[in-house]
């Protein structure tokens, strides 16, 4: 059992003011693998006080001294890749080889890129007779999700601490154990007390206490649109700056000149990564209406080739969903697709029939493909967060763009076509924060974030760094 009994405040491991604990489950088996303290508003008060007390000293620490510590974090992720990857795989169900490569490799790259970005960042500039300085915003509350737990933490705290902010982190209660290992690393590296603070707990208690706190200068939140809206509401009382990276319902447009045999299987992968538990997953597949049957056949073959199984089993390509609640949610969406008249091409409700013995209680979903989906159906409108692909037909290029943009969200998108100029022109028409052309993938130096109900602000690279600074104009005397 990975049992954690204390939280981290002011450079020390301390007892929570609360007495309760939160169990952490292995989604491959449904069994408890650990626990963390269930924090309280009093814990948040103490953590924010520690961060506030540390702020002036940290903000005036030379940039290079701060960046050396950030570089130490990235190096430790590399040194501990196997252990961290195994832990995260156990917490949230991504197959082990992918967990090491993605769940540890991605935060390692993101963190490792921050020092170079910070060294090139313009912290001062002169505009005519005015000196403009960019200064750390202050105490930052970071509230992070379970699907890419360590990466989403580092996409916030690494740039925040690099520019001179101090932080209070509330990791997801569903996959919090990796945050405790991160905290041990921060403690071992010798970050000054109070620069980083960890309070585990549930969103409606600890998350709301962070968002409502008058001494928190900014909240950076990643999670559902519903929860992100609540954070903004609570933070508004103090006019606290809120950065939100929220949900998505992204479209992948396959143009009529695309190579379907290549594009469709890749499109299934872009929907199913992390068992579909990816905010930027390309869950709506848009194809020419007269080629839906062809696309459905190719998508079904790719879905049926997925090996569903325990995260630690060799050869698993699609692990379980993260929790029983998430499994039930996805089952409801699959049933809604059937009830509303979409064509179930493969998959469906229930668990796969060929699970290994002893894993029947894990949260496994059958890889599912629907065809002949209308963009008005529930499975085309709402974020499912599971391995469920909806194939939608379009009449022409303009219709494809209209369908893609007909959504409350705007986080990601995709375009496939052999004519690169045409595909790029379509990509530029999509009302979304990023677009993958012909299967390209995330660049951790480029901005990541969304339009509309997918949030506001950007993470990663210099755009992410800029979220954590305030601009000050110092008007200099003339002459």
What's the pLDDT at 1?
83
Find out whether 435 and 414 touch, Cβ atoms under 8 Å.
yes
Instruction: Name the token pair of 414.
Output: 């995709």
As a CATH number, domain 251-444 is 3.40.309.10
- Tell me the three state secondary structure of residue 411: coil
Residue 184 bears catalytic tag = no
What pLDDT is stored for residue 357 in this prediction?
A: 86
Of 207, 240, 245, 250, nearest in space to 44 by CA: 207
Report the distance separating Cα 457 and Cα 366, nearest Å: 35
**Helix, strand or coil for residue 45?**
helix
Q: How far apart are CA 14 and CA 17, in angstroms?
A: 9
Q: Which residues pair with 218 in a beta bridge?
A: 140, 241
Report d(CA 314, CA 425) in Å as an integer: 42
Sign of CA dihedral 91, 94, 100, 101: negative
- Give the start-to-end residue ranges of the domains of the chain: 2-246+454-475, 251-444
Write out pLDDT tens, residues 182-196: 999 999 999 999 999
Q: Outline where 96-254 has alpha helix (H).
A: 96-98, 105-120, 149-163, 177-189, 208-212, 225-235
| C-alpha to C-alpha distance for 317 and 275, rounded to whole angstroms | 9
In terms of Cβ atoms closer than 10 Å to its own Cβ (0-12, 13-18, 19+), residue 44 is: buried
Residue with tokens 């040194």: 79
Give the ranges where 305-439 is alpha helix by DSSP (H). 324-339, 378-381, 397-405, 420-429
User: What DSSP state is assigned to residue 193?
Assistant: T
What's the sign of the alpha-carbon dihedral 437, 430, 253, 347? positive
**Angstrom distance (rounded) from CA 416 to CA 427:** 10
Residue located via tokens 């194939």 = 391
Q: Which helix (H) or strand (E) holds 168?
A: strand 166-170
Cβ(177)–Cβ(4) below 8 Å: yes
C-beta of residue 67 within 8 angstroms of C-beta of residue 231: no
Of 249, 250, 256, 254, the closest CA to residue 437 belongs to 254
Task: Give the predicted TM-score (pTM) of the model.
Answer: 0.97
* pLDDT mean values, one per 10 residues, the chain (479 residues): 96 98 98 98 98 98 98 98 98 97 97 98 96 98 98 98 98 98 98 98 98 98 96 98 97 98 98 97 98 98 97 96 98 98 98 90 97 98 98 98 98 98 98 97 94 97 98 93
Write the CA distances from 270 to 69, 252, 277, 279, integer angstroms.
35, 9, 11, 11
What kind of fold does domain 2-246+454-475 have according to CATH? Aldehyde Dehydrogenase; Chain A, domain 1 (3.40.605)
Crossing angle of the two packed helices 397-405 and 420-429, in degrees rounded to 10: 40
Q: Is residue 271 annotated as part of the catalytic site, yes or no?
A: no
Which of 91, 173, 245, 459 is catalytic? The answer is 245
| Start-to-end Cα distance in the chain | 70
Q: Which residues contact 469 (CB under 8 A, 6 or more apart)?
A: 123, 134, 135, 136, 137, 163
Cα dihedral 154→201→20→326 (10° resolution): -100
Catalytic residue among 173, 279, 383, 459: 279
pLDDT (tens digit per residue) in 316-354: 999 999 999 999 999 999 999 999 999 999 999 999 988
What integer pLDDT is reported at residue 107 of this predicted model? 98
Q: How far apart are CA 391 and CA 379, in angstroms?
A: 10
Q: Are 412 and 436 in contact (CB under 8 A)?
A: yes
Q: What is the 3-state secondary structure (H, E, C) of 9-76?
A: ECCEEECCCCCCEEEEEECCCCEEEEEEECCCHHHHHHHHHHHHHHHHHHHCCCHHHHHHHHHHHHHH
Report how far Cα 125 is from the mean position of its chain's Cα atoms.
33
Let me know if the fold of 2-246+454-475 is the same as that of 251-444: no
């Amino acid at each position: 059992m990975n049992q954690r009994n204390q939280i981290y405040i002011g450079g020390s491991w301390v007892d929570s003011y609360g007495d309760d604990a939160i169990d952490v489950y292995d989604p491959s088996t449904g069994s408890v693998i650990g626990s963390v303290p269930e924090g309280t508003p009093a814990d948040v008060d103490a953590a924010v006080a520690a961060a506030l007390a540390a702020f002036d000293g940290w903000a005036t620490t030379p940039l290079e001294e701060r960046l050396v510590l950030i570089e130490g974090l990235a190096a430790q992720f590399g040194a501990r890749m196997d252990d961290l990857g195994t832990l995260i795989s156990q917490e949230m169900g991504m197959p082990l080889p992918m967990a090491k490569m993605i769940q540890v490799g991605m935060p390692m790259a993101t963190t490792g890129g921050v020092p170079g970005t910070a060294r090139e960042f313009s912290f001062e500039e002169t505009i005519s007779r005015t000196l403009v300085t960019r200064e750390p915003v202050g105490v930052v509350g970071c509230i992070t999700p379970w699907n890419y737990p360590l990466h989403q933490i580092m996409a916030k705290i690494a740039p925040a601490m690099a520019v001179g902010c101090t932080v209070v982190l509330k990791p997801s209660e569903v996959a919090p154990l990796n945050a405790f290992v991160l905290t041990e690393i921060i403690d071992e590296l010798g970050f000054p007390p109070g620069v980083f603070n960890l309070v585990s707990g549930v969103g409606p208690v600890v998350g709301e206490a962070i968002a409502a706190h008058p001494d928190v200068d900014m909240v950076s939140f990643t999670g559902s649109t519903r929860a992100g809206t609540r954070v903004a509401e609570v933070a508004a009382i103090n006019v606290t700056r809120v950065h939100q990276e929220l949900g998505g319902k992204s479209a992948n447009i396959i143009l009529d000149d695309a190579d379907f045999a290549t594009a469709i299987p890749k499109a299934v992968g872009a929907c199913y990564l992390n068992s579909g538990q990816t905010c930027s997953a390309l869950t709506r597949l848009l194809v020419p209406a007269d080629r839906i049957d062809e696309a459905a056949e190719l998508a079904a073959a790719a879905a049926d080739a997925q090996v569903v199984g325990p995260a630690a089993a060799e050869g698993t390509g699609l692990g379980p969903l993260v929790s029983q609640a998430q499994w039930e949610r996805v089952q409801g969406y699959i049933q809604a697709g059937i009830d509303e008249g979409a064509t179930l091409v493969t998959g469906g409700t229930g668990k796969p029939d060929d699970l290994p013995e002893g894993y029947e209680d894990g949260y496994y979903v059958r890889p599912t493909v629907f065809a002949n989906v209308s963009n008005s159906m529930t499975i085309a409108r709402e974020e499912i967060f599971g391995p469920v692909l909806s194939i939608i037909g379009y009449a022409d290029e303009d219709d494809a763009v209209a369908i893609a943009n007909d959504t409350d969200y705007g986080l990601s998108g995709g375009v496939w076509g052999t004519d690169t100029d045409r595909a790029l022109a379509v990509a530029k028409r999509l009302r979304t924060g990023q677009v993958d052309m012909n299967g390209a993938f995330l660049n951790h130096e480029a901005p990541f974030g969304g339009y509309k109900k997918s949030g506001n602000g950007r993470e990663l690279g210099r755009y992410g760094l800029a979220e954590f600074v305030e601009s000050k104009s110092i008007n200099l005397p003339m002459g």
